[in-house]
Amino acid sequence: MKKITFILLFASFSHAYSQKTQGLALTPPLGWNSWNTFQTNINEQLVKDIADVMVSSGMKDAGYEYLVLDDGWMAMERDKNGNLVADPKKFPHGIKAVADYVHSKGLKFGLYNCAGTKTCAGYPGTRGYEYQDARYYAAHDVDYLKFDWCNTEGINAKEAYTTMSKALATTGRPIVFSMCEWGQNKPWEWAENVGHLWRTTGDISNIFAGTKDMGTWHALGVLKIIDLQKGLRKYAGPGHWNDPDMLEVGNGLTEAENRAHFSMWCMLAAPLIAGNDLRNMSTETKNILINKDAIAVDQDKMGIEGFAYAEKDSVETWLKPLQNGDWAVCFLNRSTHPVSFEMNWKEKPIFDSLSKASLDAEKNSYQIFNIWSKKTEGTTNHTFKATVGAHDVVMLRLKKEN
Ligand code: GAL
């Protein structure tokens, strides 16, 4: 009997020990990542400038916290002890100096590597160095690791990501673990206790509809990525998020498309990782990225991903249950012309079986707050009528009245 208790105790201890660091990313992470604009053209000055502007633009106040360097921060070789080395030309004072600067601004710092033998851009990968690299990140005060999937031929994704997750947890430093295997191995089915977020698709591109031919592969437009989220909402929640990839807001989409892209990422409870050049973004782009009411939808503590409720005339109605009985509603116009629509809230009660939340405008009344115009537009006692522009959204918060 005693022996069995011991075995059980040991099993539960080793299970707890084998898990990722808990208590992180209880709402989807917000931050900035270098890849979408700079690819491997990154350096110390850029990091300092971006950290400064994250503070001065109001992004930090709006909740953006992580500044993450993607591929290209390393030298081409490890040192003679097998340790990673920052590119000495790009980062003449090393990575710790950069991390210190970011921290001095009240922000957190992230790095990138890859589960394979090399990163996608050909820098040293982590395969076989998981614990050593985890110690490097902890020693350099890294708070976030994005872990990619290039050059991994023949290895098992669950095992590779679990090994890195354990290695990070073993350091004792809280490090958000961002898994980036492009949704190829259905991480949503097994990664709840491995990573804090996992990519659900291939790479995003700065186009709204369709895909972009990249030679050997196709990058995905915003609508394609939205469509690929179907069926995944039940896997997301506090501490473990579906990641439909980083934002392309401010990278060439129209203002309407930027707004629609951002709104939909908020409806999806997606990590909000900006990828534009914050140093010279337009006021329109900034105002989209720091819309606190949209961000509040994303960051709602219940952590329930939204769902597509209806579609008519190319306008999709998305709903997201929020705390205190509130709801976010987003009308997404997929077409290239404006569409008028209406919503009779009283037509039938809406029930979300995942969260058990209901939107019942017969039983309750909700005040309608327009998240982009910032106007209150009556209550759900009346049919809501509006026109949504091409590739644009109308996004509302229904505030439950007692
Ligand atoms: C891709 C990844 C991108 C970026 C790039 C860097 O695999 O999906 O987000 O990290 O690698 O090479």
pLDDT tens, residue by residue, 251-266: 999 999 999 999 999 9
Distance CA 306, CA 356 (A): 13
Torsion of CA 285, 287, 291, 294, to 10 degrees: -40
pLDDT tens, residue by residue, 49-60: 999 999 999 999
Asked, for residue 188, whether it belongs to a domain, the answer is yes
pTM of the model: 0.95
**119 C-alpha to ligand 1 centroid (Å):** 9
Q: Do 235 and 373 lie in a common domain? A: no
pLDDT band of 346, cuts 50, 70, 90: very high
Contact 115, 149 (CB under 8 A): yes
Question: What residues make up the domain containing 359?
Answer: 307-400
Nearest CA to ligand 1 atom 8: 203
Active site residues: 148, 203
Q: What angle do CA 257, 263, 269 make, to 5 degrees?
A: 140
Query: For the domain that residue 351 is a member of, what is the CATH number?
Result: 2.60.40.1180
Domain boundary among 298, 321, 345: 298
Task: Give the position, in ligand 1's atom list, of the atom nearest the Cα of 149.
Answer: 7
- To the nearest 10 degrees (0 to 180), the angle between helices 94-104 and 44-56 is 10
**How many structural domains comprise the chain?**
2
- Give pLDDT, residue 13: 44
Task: Give the position, in ligand 1's atom list, of the atom nearest the Cα of 202.
Answer: 8
pLDDT tens, residue by residue, 315-324: 999 999 999 9
Query: For the domain that residue 272 is a member of, what is the CATH number?
Result: 3.20.20.70
- 248 in contact with ligand 1, CB cutoff 6 A: no
pLDDT(74) > 60: yes
Nearest CA to ligand 1 atom 4: 35
**36 C-alpha to ligand 1 centroid (Å):** 9
pLDDT tens, residue by residue, 209-247: 999 999 999 999 999 999 999 999 999 999 999 999 999
- 35 in contact with ligand 1, CB cutoff 6 A: yes
Asked, for residue 241, whether it belongs to a domain, the answer is yes
- Give pLDDT, residue 402: 77
Q: Do 96 and 151 lie in a common domain? A: yes
Asked, for residue 10, whether it belongs to a domain, the answer is no
**34 C-alpha to ligand 1 centroid (Å):** 10
Distance CA 398, CA 323 (A): 11
Distance CA 328, CA 296 (A): 10
Q: Do 245 and 121 lie in a common domain? A: yes
Q: Do 311 and 294 lie in a common domain? A: no
- 180 in contact with ligand 1, CB cutoff 6 A: yes
Q: Do 199 and 338 lie in a common domain? A: no
pLDDT(14) > 50: no
- 70 in contact with ligand 1, CB cutoff 6 A: yes
Q: Do 234 and 331 lie in a common domain? A: no
Domain boundary among 298, 325, 346: 298
Distance of CA 304 to the CA centre of its chain: 14
Q: Give the type of residue at 393.
A: V
Domain boundary among 298, 333, 352: 298
